[in-house]
Amino acid sequence: MAPSRTDDQDFGSYEEPKISYDINVPYKPPSGEYELRTKERTEFPDYLPVWESGLWFDDFPIFEYHDPALRADQSKPHLFSEGVKSTPITPKMGTILTGVKLDNLSQEAKDELALLVSERKVVVCREQSDFLHKGPAFQVEFMEYFGKLSHQPVTGAVKGFPQFHIIHRDGNKEEIANFFKHKTTSTIWHHDVSYERQPPGYIMLGILACPDVGGDTVVADMAEAYNRLSPAFQNMINGMQAVHTSENLIGMARKARGQVRSDPIDSVHPVVRVHPVTGEKALFINMEWPKEYIGLKDEESQVVVKYLLDHIRMGHDFQARVHWEKHSVVIFDGRTTLHTATVDYDNADKARHLFRLAAMTEVPLSVADAERGQN
């Protein structure tokens, strides 16, 4: 069903969950008092989350995908034009670009940006005020160059643009304290919406406001995590598959009587996927969406999954911490990274406000499918 526009939904009363499913994500609409207070405190009031009624999204149909990185000039002359500076975050992963104007990129430069994201896993573009002030329609069009955009099933979006996922926290010190009464950490290592049949490959975060210190995102290189495993262990997991589902997300929203815009989605994905641009093999496993590992008994999957997640969590030598700065735009590769937010800040003075746009790419390519394609 195509999305339709109606008046904002009246939610009335709701059942407040004991703690948030994810401390970074609001699952119920803010009150009018909240909106009034925060609009006075943000440079981007149009990006405060809204929940519009009358929206419903059926499962996204399979589509043919052509990656713009595959047609890029390897030397990237259009992206690295005069005045552009590139600084690595770590030797193997992460690049900070200064001097780039995303709002003025040519098609050739966008192709080269896609290639850089594929190669370096995460690209941080500083000083993108002009791009962020271009507005949601411009940003949607920009990201549609990299793939079809996913729609948000439960969380707040930009009014009229359900492709946006809005994260906004302002003065929620009490909420954070309550969360940590029940949890030891806010860390959730995840891929964004990996339950989609064609999960996002290029993901943009626009940093609208952030604390001076804290609230960073940590990114892990899943290709390097795979490479660190022994050949025997790699061979064991190369053929594994997992069922990724959004049923917990939908269930928590319904419990809070929040808006739900789609039924739960289940997709079967390989535990090891192959990147179509770089050819890298990468772990495709996370803490949020997989619910079942096909072919393994419960006890077996618990052992294998715990080992892999512990391997990722402790792999500080294949992780990068991305420091937020206001007006930055971050683009990362959803095929070969995991990430987690860090709730280590007190935002009594400054909000943590950002948007996400997620461009869906190919159906994840298994090791066996990649090998058959090479023969």
Sign for the pseudo-dihedral over CA of 21, 324, 176, 52? negative
Look at residue 44 in the predicted model and tell me its pLDDT.
Answer: 92
Cβ within 8 Å of residue 235, ≥6 positions away: none
pLDDT along the chain (375 residues), means of 10: 37 48 57 57 86 87 96 97 96 97 97 98 98 98 98 90 90 79 85 95 95 90 98 97 93 82 95 98 94 93 96 96 94 97 77 93 96 72
128 in a domain, yes or no? yes
15 in a domain, yes or no? no
240: left (phi over 0), alpha (psi -120 to 50) or beta: beta
Q: Which domain holds residue 139?
A: 32-374
Look at residue 13 in the predicted model and tell me its pLDDT.
Answer: 41
Q: What is the pTM of this model?
A: 0.90
Look at residue 343 in the predicted model and tell me its pLDDT.
Answer: 85
Nearest-angstrom CA–CA distance, 304 and 254 = 32
194 in a domain, yes or no? yes
Calculate what percentage of the chain has a pLDDT beyond 70. 88
Q: Into how many domains does the chain fold?
A: 1
Our CA angle for 78, 79, 85, nearest 5°, is 130
98 in a domain, yes or no? yes
Look at residue 8 in the predicted model and tell me its pLDDT.
Answer: 41
Look at residue 374 in the predicted model and tell me its pLDDT.
Answer: 58
Nearest-angstrom CA–CA distance, 288 and 199 = 14
Cβ within 8 Å of residue 145, ≥6 positions away: 68, 107, 110
> Dihedral through CA 147, CA 361, CA 22, CA 208, nearest 10?
-30
Amino acid occupying residue 6: T
| Strand spans (E) along 28-145 | 85-88, 95-98, 122-125
Residue 109, domain CATH = 3.60.130.10
Look at residue 254 in the predicted model and tell me its pLDDT.
Answer: 85
62 in a domain, yes or no? yes
Both tokens assigned to 63: 């589509």
Look at residue 36 in the predicted model and tell me its pLDDT.
Answer: 54
Nearest-angstrom CA–CA distance, 26 and 252 = 11
208 in a domain, yes or no? yes
Strand order in the sheet with 319-322: 319-322, 217-221, 337-341
175 in a domain, yes or no? yes
Find the helix or strand (DSSP H, E) in which 352 lies.
strand 352-360
216 in a domain, yes or no? yes
